[in-house]
Amino acid sequence: MTGKTAVAPFLTLERVSKRFGAHEAVADLSLDMPPGEILCLLGPSGCGKSTLLRLIAGFETPSSGTIRLDGTDLAGLAPHRRPVNMMFQSYALFPHLSVAQNIAYGLKGLGREAATARVTDLLRLVRLEGFGDRRPETLSGGQRQRVALARALAREPKVLLLDEPLGALDRGLREQTQGELRAIQRRLGTAFVIVTHDPSEAMALADRIGVMDKGRLVQLGRAETLYERPATRFVAGLLGDVNLIPGTVGRADGLLVQVETALGPILALGEGAPAAGAPAMVALRPERLTASPVDPTMAENRNALDGRVEASTYLGDRTRLEIRMTDGSTLRATLPTGTGSGTAIRLTFAPEAATVVAA
C-alpha cells in the first residue's frame, strides 16, 4: 500500500474551555498541530486568542479539556516547567541589562561558557552580531523585536508562543520583519503559535490559520483555503474585502449550488451550504469579477449581473469600482486598469469563484 505517512500531532488541544465567571473566553476548542508548523490564531480583540496562548503557556488553567505537547499532558505543569516559551507584544526587555544579558537571562544554571556560546549563536541567528553590549533603548523597534525573539528562543522551547509579535512596528518594518521571522523559524524548525488581529500578517506568516470568534475556532486551514473557500460569513469578511449577496438556496448541481437572489440566480460552490430553501449569502471577492459593457444583443451569461458604475478609484495597475446594481445594492469590483470603462457595466464570474455561506 502506498501513500503519504500521516504526521502525528505535536500539540493537541482537546475540547479546551476557559471561563471567567459567566464569561466563556475559550469554548470547547479542539485542534492538532504538527511539529515545525507556524500556526496563526486570527480574530478581533476579545475573541479568546490570547487567552488560548496563555492556556498553552500555563499562565491560565483550563476550566475543562486537555492540552498535550509531544504526548505529555501539560495539566499541573507550571509555566517554567513546560517546554514552551512566550514572547509578549511589549517585548519586556530589561532596560538595565545589555542585549547579551537580556538574551542570557533564561539560561541560568547552564554555565557561563555554554551560556556565552548560546548567546553568540542567537545573536548570529537574529543578525545582531556586535550588538551584545548595547542597551535596549539604543536599538530600533525592529532590533528590539529580534532581541526579544532571541531571548524567547534561548531555552530551545519545543513551541514558541508569540502574542502580536509585530504589533509595535510600523507597517514597512512589520512587512520586512515578517520575512525575517519566518526565515528564522524555518532554520530552527521550532513550532510557532502566533496571535494576530491582522489578516495580511497571518497570511504572510502562517502554514495554517485558525480563525477565532467569541471563543470558538470557526475555521482552520491554509490561507488560500480560508480566503477562497470561507466556511462562514464572518471568515469571508475577516480575510479581506468581499461582496455578500443575499438569497435563498435552490437546487444543487454536484459541488455547485444555485442561489436565488434579487439579481437573478447565481451558481456558486456550495460545499457546506445550508439546505434548499434556507437563506444564504454568496461570498464573492472583488478581484474575481470581470467586466464588460452591457450589450442587449448578447445572450445572457450564467452569473452575469448588470449595474451602473457610481465611483472609480485609481490604484495604479488596478481600478476599484463601486457599482449600483439593478436591485439598488452596491457591489465592488477590482479590475485591471483600462478595463470595465463606461457607465453601464456587466459583471461576470465563474461559479468556482464564489462560495455559498450561511446568512
The domain boundary, picked from 189, 205, 228, lies at 228
Contact residues for 267 (Cβ-Cβ < 8 A; gap 6+):
253, 256, 257, 258, 259, 302, 303, 351
Among 228, 263, 281, the domain-final residue is 228
Domain identity same for 95 and 221: yes
- The last residue of a domain, from among 200, 228, 256: 228
Answer whether residue 241 shows pLDDT above 90. Answer: yes
Q: What is the maximum span of the chain, computed from C-alpha positions, in angstroms? A: 84
- How many whole angstroms separate alpha carbon 14 and alpha carbon 37? 18
Q: Is 323 exposed, middle or buried (CB count within 10 Å of its CB: 0-12, 13-18, 19+)?
A: buried
Alpha-carbon distance 282 to 260, whole Å? Answer: 10
Which residues are within 8 A (CB) of 357 and not within 5 positions of it... i.e. 6 or more apart? 230, 231, 232, 233, 236, 273, 280, 281, 283
Count of residues for the chain?
Answer: 359
pLDDT by residue (tens digit) across 98-114?
A: 999 999 987 877 888 89
C-alpha cell at 203: 497570511
Residues paired with residue 40 on neighbouring β-strands, in sequence order: 194, 209
Classify residue 114: in a domain, yes or no: yes
Least confident of 30-34, 35-39, 70-74, 172-176: 172-176
- Residue 8: pLDDT band (50, 70, 90) is low
| 234 part of a folded domain | no
pLDDT at 227 over 50: yes
Distance CA 297, CA 270 (A): 32
Q: Both 119 and 259 in a single domain? A: no
Higher confidence at residue 8 or residue 170?
170
pLDDT value of position 175: 79
Residues 70, 73, 75, 81, CA torsion sign: negative
Q: Are residues 274 and 162 in the same domain?
A: no
Judge contact between 223 and 203, C-beta under 8 A. Answer: yes
Please name which of 82, 77, 134 lies closest in space to residue 103, comparing C-alpha atoms. 134
Residue 172 has pLDDT above 80, yes or no: no
Look at the chain and report how many structural domains it folds into.
2
- Say yes or no: 126 and 182 in one domain: yes
- Per-residue pLDDT for 300 more than 80? no
One-letter-per-residue 3-state SS of 60-129: CCCCEEEEEECCEECCCCCHHHCCEEEECCCCCCCCCCCHHHHHHHHHCCCCHHHHHHHHHHHHHHCCCC
Q: What tens digit of pLDDT does each residue of 127-156 get?
A: 899 999 999 999 988 888 889 999 999 989
Return d(Cα 136, Cα 115) in angstroms, integer: 20
| Spacing of C-alpha 275 from chain mean position | 29
Query: Which CATH number belongs to the domain containing residue 328 in this structure?
Result: 2.40.50.100
11-24 tens-digit pLDDT: 999 999 999 999 99
* Pairing mode of beta strands 23-33, 11-20: antiparallel
Q: Are 149 and 92 in contact (CB under 8 A)?
A: no
Query: Is 301 strand, coil or helix?
Result: coil
pTM of the model: 0.88
Record the cell numbers describing residue 303, joined without a space.
452569473
In which domain, by residue range, is 69 found? Answer: 11-228
